[in-house]
Amino acid sequence: MTDDDSRYEAVSSRDARFDGAFFFAVRTTGIYCRPSCPAVTPKRANVCFFPTAAAAQGHGFRACRRCRPDAVPGSAEWNARADVVGRAVRLIGDGVVDREGVPGLAGRLGYSARQVQRQLTAELGAGPIALARAQRAHTARLLLQTTALPVTDIAFAAGFASVRQFNDTIRRIYARTPSALRAESGTGAGTRTGTAAGVPLRLAHRGPYAAREVFDLLALEALPGVEEVTGPSGARTYRRTLRLPYGHGVAAVDEASPGAWLEARIHLADLRDLTTAVQRLRRLFDLDADPYAVAERLAADPLLAPRVAARPGVRSPGAAAPDEYALRVLLGPDEAARLVGAYGTALDTPCGGLTHLFPEPGALAGHPVAGPLAAALAAGAVRLDPGADRDGAERALLAVDGVTPAAAAAIRRRALGDPDVGPAGEPAPEAWRPWRSYAARYLEAAYAG
């Protein structure tokens, strides 16, 4: 999608491949939509295009009630890119602006707040505050339509600084009051529940999703006490504990989810962690990937073509807790399981087979194998957060005693979510770029049968 005419063609054909890649708005109605919106296609002269929902909102357009453009998967481009814009988008998604403000975001990126504002506005049509506001509005809509929480509690749980700001934002984006938004029927969001039952979610993805391969991998790697996979193949549930900025959580994701989403539920000690928890699940399950672009590139290789055809939508899972994943690479499964019981934080009430949060890096700084990496993570000498510079992180990892090139590559692929890390120990063809991580998953899935 390099020009507006080709974007309009995608809108005319209701092409879901581009949901989240761009948004279109209709000047005569004041509404913005996703490309696959089922409404009657507007005249070309009345349509304008935006790279993000926040940009459309900033120009005064309201979200369409039919296609709910605020709920589409994120653009695969921003997760794949390693530049400051991609890093900033990932940090905003993780809730950094809500917790630390724009200065905190800029400090993590190593730029001034003015530079970050300028670069984001130039490429995304919206600055960090507008992007964070759009995300807060989506979180608020989710809570309004899926929980029985009081509106005041929802305002602060979604990250708004005041109830007035919350009310104004909801009216501007959705053209309804929070109470009217809550009262809507037919939203597809499910029955409202109390928070004790957790927050029900539909984690959207684009295109085919090879859930079996993802759940096979998660079942193979599951760390007792922290993770578990239950149920028969095809109808499994993955559950894990999460250490979050304001508290802890327990997330569950179902394998047998109908439609273009994964059914999930998140129990949180503090609802302010909802946005962060959702983004970490999205990275773990690689839900913002573009399987069409991956298939187009990899299917051109004779080795991979039959695998791509046989297993459409294979994903390259990330990590819900990057520091944890990095330490587990060095520890191995048996030692990691031992350390969970010895140094992990016990849940007040066990939840099925989940009993602990994985130990914080500082607690493992004295470990004979993973200690140097744990100390580097605790001190900030190695950063694996969503906004980390991937090349810089890999150099920092290789400077730590005990981290081999193979370990650093595995950490880069999973903990940093890099889509272009080749199979371990094998030269990867340049033709697989920028999707070498996906090529590796296709090969691993084929070897696993």
Taking residues 347-354, what's their average pLDDT? 94
Q: What pLDDT is stored for residue 187 in this prediction? A: 45
Mean pLDDT (whole number) for 7-33: 94
Average pLDDT value for residue range 307-327? 96
Least confident segment among 1-15, 54-68, 183-197, 248-262 = 183-197
- Report, as an integer, the average pLDDT of 313-335: 97
Q: What pLDDT digit, counting tens, does each position of 251-287 carry? A: 999 998 777 899 999 999 999 999 999 999 999 999 9
* pLDDT bracket for residue 302 (50, 70, 90): very high
Report, as an integer, the average pLDDT of 210-228.
97
414/422: higher pLDDT? 414
* % of residues, the chain, pLDDT over 70: 95
Q: What is the mean pLDDT of residues 435-440?
A: 94
User: Is 176 or 411 the better-scoring residue by pLDDT?
Assistant: 411
Split at pLDDT 50, 70, 90, the class of 80 is confident
* pLDDT for res 194: 53
pLDDT value of position 292: 93
pLDDT of residue 446: 62
Q: Give the pLDDT confidence score for residue 407 in this predicted structure.
A: 96
Q: What is the pLDDT of residue 147?
A: 84
372-405 pLDDT per residue, tens: 999 999 999 999 999 999 999 999 999 999 999 9
In the predicted model, is pLDDT for residue 1 greater than 90?
no
Domains by residue range for the chain, with CATH = 4-70 (3.40.10.10), 76-146+149-183 (1.10.10.60), 197-288 (3.30.310.20)
The confidence score (pLDDT) of residue 196 equals 61
pLDDT of 74 over the 90 cut: no
Query: Which of the two residues, 179 and 187, has the higher pLDDT score?
Result: 179
Query: What is the structure's pLDDT at 425?
Result: 58
Tell me the pLDDT band of 197, cut-offs 50, 70 and 90.
Answer: low
What average pLDDT does the segment 124-143 reach?
Answer: 93
Could you tell me which residue, 155 or 77, shows the higher pLDDT? 155
Supply the pTM of this predicted model.
0.91
Residue with tokens 């357009």: 61
Q: What is the pLDDT of residue 76?
A: 80
pLDDT of the residue at 378: 98
Across 70-86, average pLDDT: 83
Summarize pLDDT for 34-65 with one digit per residue, the tens: 999 999 999 999 999 999 999 999 999 999 98
Q: What is the mean pLDDT of residues 243-257?
A: 95
Average pLDDT over residues 298-316: 95
- % of the chain with per-residue pLDDT over 90: 81
Q: How confident is the model at residue 69 (pLDDT cuts 50, 70, 90)?
A: very high
Mean of all residue pLDDT scores within the chain: 92
pLDDT in tens, 84-115: 999 999 999 999 999 999 999 999 999 999 99
